[in-house]
Structure 1
């Protein structure tokens, strides 16, 4: 289509006039602006990722593109630039940056004590909520940093102050180093930024965990909506800003794959679709990533290989980290293949020069080039509301474009110029001819063999005279070539100097030579063939770059499954079955599992199409249930307040914790993931089935009852650390916390009934407790506090469901029975702190004999995989029968969790969660050979042996790849050991 280029009126161009600030007074005399057109012709124009104009033209005036087409009119006095077939692309857009931002000043400490209250008046109650932050107030243009972006092809950056959970608005800045701030600032409110990271400007403790940050975000959104309706009498500048920012793109910074999903979860709850800054490991859970319906900002920051030359140090590197190094370059290909939209960023790169290298690497691993270009141009432009002005080459858009020597994602392509708002930034001289090839060089009666290789802007020469190699040095700049030749006689310091202006497209170079004796003469270099060195180098590069990709597993680490376990029909034949029912232990009995449920218990059962397992001589039990566990979590405590009823352990499930697999190997199928004991009122529990390889949501026990953790004793009154600033400090204060909060909850419930109330997640949880909709499991030791909590509960008309630890339970078993509480205790722990000095190993037996429902729990990732042995200790200490002792880790915890209608015994209709043991399950010599959950095998001792061999083989292969990478010059990182954080009741998240 032929486009007509019209000289439009001044009225039209006033909207395009970048520098015409006519209202500024002029005190410098006559100052004429250049309003001429710049015309680029004979260009291959990439209008957008899918549209190309061959032999096209572009007109630019006053920072904007005024016309694009095959043939446009050229006004008089235009500057015409012939691009001679070069490619033109839109300049890139950096959507996530802290470019030009002054670093936030870190708050000082005060006597080393935590700060529990906000430090700002007129703003939200939490200092880490800062939506009123305006990036403009902290911005100062950084020319040196801008030039780094320019060299990578970027024309604009979206920058913000990276501080806080709600970080406020960013700004869109042109990287035009020739303009003023007035020219460069395209938008002073470009997007709203969030993260899970606290502000360094405040010492306020809450939140201390990811789950606390999620709860804080939820409550803030609720409060903002309440404030917007005019229901809050005080002025809150933060909530006003949050409501003002709602219409902007919401960009959420995360640090890992789980946080990406957590951020999307919060957004979905409040109807917000975040633009999520990702991890680069989305390929590990591509299905869940796709289900977010989010667009992801992906850093081009691939992990470095590990230095594995020392075989002993090499053992420190996990298979997961080794696999990620191998697989990460394919991440973008996987996103594109699954139609998950993404934007690329330079953020997280320690060396900006790695950007292009890593981008080309991703393309070599299968990333579609059109999608790569879209991720740098049209997609970020759309989210910034600038789709008609940035990321495209079209009329009315900013004159932000790149001039290249060829296809932009070709390794040999040179980026010549980056035009930003119509201002040229020269990166490489684009008049450079490609001298690559073989030449016959004739000078002073001699004929040399000259071979030139390398990039056009940095060629290298190799010169021979017959069989003698001549030392030489070649330089080339702005169409002028200089070649220095040493004397063929290496004993002489004589040189011939050649200089020539290279003609465009010519196969012959003619120039002048200054001989070693000072005489001047002519020389010619006639091209005879292409150089062979470049092609060989390209082939070598290809072989070094693309590595065989290790298969993905679920989870993507040691002992992960190639395919997730599938539910199937299984018939166990001739087993010794521990039913946990009135039938007791049945010899030579069959158990049929069909459709995930126990379908039959008896003899000579019909298998049908079920898989038959000969269990002769073996014992079949229901899966072990751990009532008090801390495995499979990213955080355990939210310690920032004395009540954290608003937080939920379901938010911080870590399905890749290796302890899940180890627990399956110990016959554990269900756990209650409890909050820790940092505060009297802890967080909401997560009841999980240990479906190794599943997502976090996939591990949550479906339709399970709701629980919460309370705590008593030394931890909550902070006896174990030096804190003098948070209430409570005494056991008396602990009681008052419960009384105060439940009194508040009663008042809240009364207000709620009026219909005019501010929703409070914490109070909603406490109401659930009082109404019997959420059960309490309380950390406890000393009898006086156990009595106290039962009395407080009764005063507010609810009951404590379970006292956990309960090491003085034998003293108050009668009162617990009267109250209606159960007990989940340790088998024989004592003397590990002062308040357990009266613990005895007969505790479980005494409470059981008093008529309580008693369970043995772990509270420990190591102990949890041998709970069968912990149960056996009650046979020794207290004379409990084997059957009853086994119920301590199966049926009884199921009763405490109100799940005994689903799990805890082997009877028809219950979930097919069973364990096949090599012998008596209470024996220290017995092993769990197979562990099934709902009919799917999640642990098999024979499969485990195979996995161990596969792990060794994979590590060996990846070690070879990393050693080859190091030998090829790749930068490596040391093989240092990473210690996993061990989770216990008093663990604080590394946050």
Structure 2
């Protein structure tokens, strides 16, 4: 099979190649081979960015550059082209394209299987399609090629944009005169990746960003295992992946956080991905710089929003406005931070928008030399083709642009784009600009004639006095033809004018009068008041896009309520507070707490510290930060529902550090959360325990040394609520069997790990082995007592302990067994009867579990509830009489213990992290307000600063609204105001909004 595929691919290539070979017979006409040279002389040459040769010469032959320099001798059989006053640049390179390769349409019908691939002999997951060769689907698109050539491109790197692993692309010259054999510069140009599934398969996994990341991570492990000869059967996808590893590896990302995700994956799998960015890298340019990656960057800057209607304007968020304002700085930001990047037109509606976008970027700091490199030498370098394309050097392909001036000047015209030595005329350089107003003298009568856009699509207006006559014009190869009617609107007689024009102020030609007789005419250019006004308006219009707009400063994060500077640890002394220690000391009145170097330095009375910021906390309460054991905020995705086990999936790969709910949680005194996978499958994904450091990086937020995983029981995992009938399990008994099966497989896998023999690394099994060894902890979604018992018995059978049953609403029924097993219970305070399996829930649940000796906590599982967990804790005092200190521990120290971070947070004790909240009054009162929230000694929420930020948000929106209105008034194109939807994720969210 392998040999057959190889032969068929080679045969197709050879057929294309041989179609233009010298040994092909000629059966039609006379065979003639052009052996002439072409010498361009007296041009301003730009061989490479930053290099200029005045009055230079460039010699080409057989599609290649022979010589370039100040003085080049002309061979005897050279065609000499004098380019005095003109410039020559290398043609551009489009590094990321789907040119000539159709993207398949998605099949929307049919079931979505977990594992069953549609192809035999390939990888088990259909979305891994490394065997794809763009050549097999390639059809040269003359129309698209023309658009690209007119924009200055000579070469495109194209591929089939389908699947996670997309196979290899091809490098194609935009040579209309050649065939496939001439155009193909490389049949294996690069290997392509993305986070998007293939449209050719309904296979359900992966269904999330973290699932896609996990699958690609596993694919590279499997490819290494396969390469080592450890698999007896053949896998054509893995073979192709390994074969393509000698190529540039290009990974498509859609936004800044895709960039960072790809960069992290790059280090894990040890593959230097070239990242196709999202154009929003400026928002966290420092983190982008740290990746050390090379990038391909789109230049599709957003249009201003139409905010004339105040009601419509209210829909537009500050982040949307900031993106419009700041996006044009992206290329300059990457340039100034020393990042290597190519520029792509992939997001533009058409390539002709490129220059407009670049000229806008120049106004925001991008250097022309940087842009030229990003279109020529850098893509050539990244593709490993520096000697062949991207520059005007000896031996390179004769891909060159002939222009009227410097390439990025708004007045510059691209006259010709030579590709592989083949001339493509974009604008005829011999055509004279004849725009203007003329006195037209014909047969003894004088008319007013105005000609405009003569170098583009010429237009003419002929007037007799104030009467506008019907008229038409054509202008090509230096010849002008004008047709106009008589003065009477019913007059269908025409006067026809023909002349070879020149750049002089007066020229003449032949006139064919309405009666058929021949005469002459003259056109004398008048002082061009009207045209000058028109030109002035045209110039004004063209300048609109280039006017630099005041750029708003970046914040951390770059949305509403972002900080101008990232918060830093401070030395702070809280004086005379009521301190809830959560330690043996209990609640201390009129007590001081000193914070230094991110830690709690001292707790006592009459403390002092030189240089400390002193905060008078008299009448206020100081507590440790609230910890939410079960949260789904700050995530791009929450469920990988494509399989019944997704233990290999990491919620860390889906963290959204810019989620406004982080700030809202801080305003509610929350400092730490466990970001949990959803409950779509029995074995979910790995948790991300994270501190809510607003404006910080993901790396700074996530506690990577804390290992948790989400399990789930009940209706969701057996798919009662979402009508899936294609995935095991479908019953509660099946859920138990699945757990047993997976842990048995994990035990067998562990034997291989410890055997000392080579074994295939399986990220899913490694995660389960961590559970067996007590190195990763289970937080299990649970409701019904029978299933709670079941999972504890499974754990007992395999000699591990379930760590936490989360939102365990029937915990009160099995509290004694939970205490015996040693499992904690994190629950809702008073939710019940919102679905069938919680009909037996009671608000006394937390109190009963606590009284039975179960480590008990209150969690949110809800973005709104998360910011008022202080009040949820208070409910346990009402329902069950839990003492106030113990009730407070339900949302502080106890969840810290559940998450195994109580050695660093959860109480106010010397040496612990300074994760603190200063409350305006008794913390469990409905009147209590978090005035300051600290994480590791840095103030991440301050109620007074919040008031300032609210005013700043209004001011910024007002300022940006004014700028957008100004843009519209200048005639710039706008987009309709649209509301930025925020999707709240919860346990059973299966799809996230784009």
The equivalent residue for 1:977 is 979
3-state SS of paired residue (1:564): coil
The equivalent residue for 2:752 is 751
* Contact 2:893-2:907 within 8 A present in 1 as well: yes
Shift of 1:582: 1.4
The equivalent residue for 2:729 is 728
Shift of 1:355: 2.4
Of 565, 583, 598 in structure 1, the residue corresponding to residue 600 of structure 2 is: 598
In 2, the alpha carbon distance for the partners of 1:586 and 1:308 equals 54
The equivalent residue for 2:331 is 332
* Contact 2:443-2:519 within 8 A present in 1 as well: no
The equivalent residue for 1:193 is 192
3-state SS of paired residue (1:766): helix
Shift of 1:474: 7.5
Shift of 1:465: 11
Residues 400-426 of structure 1 show CA distances to partners (whole Å, capped at 9, x for unaligned) of 111111111111111111111111111
The equivalent residue for 2:872 is 870
Shift of 1:884: 1.1
The equivalent residue for 2:642 is 640
The equivalent residue for 1:38 is 38
Q: TM-score, normalised by structure 2?
A: 0.93
Of 754, 773, 776 in structure 2, the residue corresponding to residue 774 of structure 1 is: 776
3-state SS of paired residue (2:246): coil
Shift of 1:396: 1.3
The equivalent residue for 1:376 is 375
Question: CA 1:225–1:886 in structure 2 vs 1: closer, same or farther (change >3 Å)?
Answer: same
In 2, the alpha carbon distance for the partners of 1:946 and 1:455 equals 57
The equivalent residue for 2:742 is 741
In 2, the alpha carbon distance for the partners of 1:704 and 1:77 equals 73
3-state SS of paired residue (2:728): coil
3-state SS of paired residue (2:550): coil
Q: TM-score, normalised by structure 1?
A: 0.93
Shift of 1:512: 3.8
Question: CA 1:113–1:181 in structure 2 vs 1: closer, same or farther (change >3 Å)?
Answer: closer
* Contact 1:500-1:509 within 8 A present in 2 as well: no
Shift of 1:106: 3.5
In the TM superposition, what are the counterparts of 1:802-881 in structure 2 within 5 Å?
A: 802-881=804-883
In 1, the alpha carbon distance for the partners of 2:104 and 2:521 equals 65
Question: CA 1:881–1:105 in structure 2 vs 1: closer, same or farther (change >3 Å)?
Answer: same
The equivalent residue for 1:86 is 86
Unmatched runs of 5 consecutive residues or more in structure 1: 1-16
In the TM superposition, what are the counterparts of 1:505-584 in structure 2 within 5 Å?
A: 507-512=504-509, 514=511, 520=519, 523=522, 525=524, 532-533=532-533, 534=535, 537-538=538-539, 541-542=542-543, 545-546=546-547, 547-584=549-586
3-state SS of paired residue (1:183): helix
* Contact 2:500-2:509 within 8 A present in 1 as well: no
Unmatched runs of 5 consecutive residues or more in structure 2: 1-16
In 2, the alpha carbon distance for the partners of 1:106 and 1:498 equals 57
In 2, the alpha carbon distance for the partners of 1:79 and 1:875 equals 96
Shift of 1:366: 2.0
In 2, the alpha carbon distance for the partners of 1:777 and 1:208 equals 22
In 2, the alpha carbon distance for the partners of 1:498 and 1:203 equals 65
Question: CA 1:588–1:429 in structure 2 vs 1: closer, same or farther (change >3 Å)?
Answer: same
Shift of 1:330: 1.6
* Contact 1:132-1:241 within 8 A present in 2 as well: yes
The equivalent residue for 2:717 is 716
Question: CA 1:964–1:482 in structure 2 vs 1: closer, same or farther (change >3 Å)?
Answer: farther
In 2, the alpha carbon distance for the partners of 1:778 and 1:351 equals 51
The number of equivalent residue pairs is 971
* Contact 2:442-2:511 within 8 A present in 1 as well: no
Is the deviation greater in 183-192 or in 539-548?
539-548
3-state SS of paired residue (1:424): coil
Determine if the alignment matches structure 1 residue 408 to structure 2 residue 407: yes
The equivalent residue for 1:66 is 66
Question: CA 1:439–1:581 in structure 2 vs 1: closer, same or farther (change >3 Å)?
Answer: same
Shift of 1:844: 0.5
* Contact 2:440-2:524 within 8 A present in 1 as well: yes
In 2, the alpha carbon distance for the partners of 1:141 and 1:472 equals 40
The equivalent residue for 2:3 is none
In 2, the alpha carbon distance for the partners of 1:216 and 1:440 equals 74
In 1, the alpha carbon distance for the partners of 2:141 and 2:442 equals 51
* Contact 1:496-1:513 within 8 A present in 2 as well: no
In 1, the alpha carbon distance for the partners of 2:265 and 2:920 equals 45
In the TM superposition, what are the counterparts of 1:284-363 in structure 2 within 5 Å?
A: 284-363=283-362
Shift of 1:40: 1.5
Residues 665-718 of structure 1 show CA distances to partners (whole Å, capped at 9, x for unaligned) of 1010000111111111111111110011112222113x6421111111111111
3-state SS of paired residue (2:375): coil
The equivalent residue for 1:56 is 56
The equivalent residue for 1:890 is 892
Shift of 1:359: 2.2
Shift of 1:171: 0.6
Residues 886-906 of structure 1 show CA distances to partners (whole Å, capped at 9, x for unaligned) of 111011111111111111111
Shift of 1:613: 1.4
Of 788, 792, 799 in structure 2, the residue corresponding to residue 786 of structure 1 is: 788
The equivalent residue for 1:625 is 627
Is the deviation greater in 948-957 or in 842-851?
948-957
Question: CA 1:464–1:135 in structure 2 vs 1: closer, same or farther (change >3 Å)?
Answer: closer
RMSD: 2.8
Shift of 1:959: 2.0
* Contact 2:359-2:546 within 8 A present in 1 as well: no
In 2, the alpha carbon distance for the partners of 1:28 and 1:471 equals 49
Residues 163-195 of structure 1 show CA distances to partners (whole Å, capped at 9, x for unaligned) of 110000001111111211111111111100000
Question: CA 1:941–1:27 in structure 2 vs 1: closer, same or farther (change >3 Å)?
Answer: same
* Contact 1:333-1:367 within 8 A present in 2 as well: yes
Shift of 1:664: 0.5
The equivalent residue for 1:258 is 257
Is the deviation greater in 36-45 or in 216-225?
36-45
Is the deviation greater in 314-323 or in 859-868?
314-323
Residues 106-152 of structure 1 show CA distances to partners (whole Å, capped at 9, x for unaligned) of 34633x45443222221111111111111111111111121111111
In 2, the alpha carbon distance for the partners of 1:678 and 1:429 equals 63
Question: CA 1:474–1:238 in structure 2 vs 1: closer, same or farther (change >3 Å)?
Answer: closer
Is the deviation greater in 509-518 or in 892-901?
509-518
Residues 595-619 of structure 1 show CA distances to partners (whole Å, capped at 9, x for unaligned) of 1111111222113111111212211
In the TM superposition, what are the counterparts of 1:448-487 in structure 2 within 5 Å?
A: 456-457=455-456, 476-481=475-480
* Contact 1:507-1:527 within 8 A present in 2 as well: no
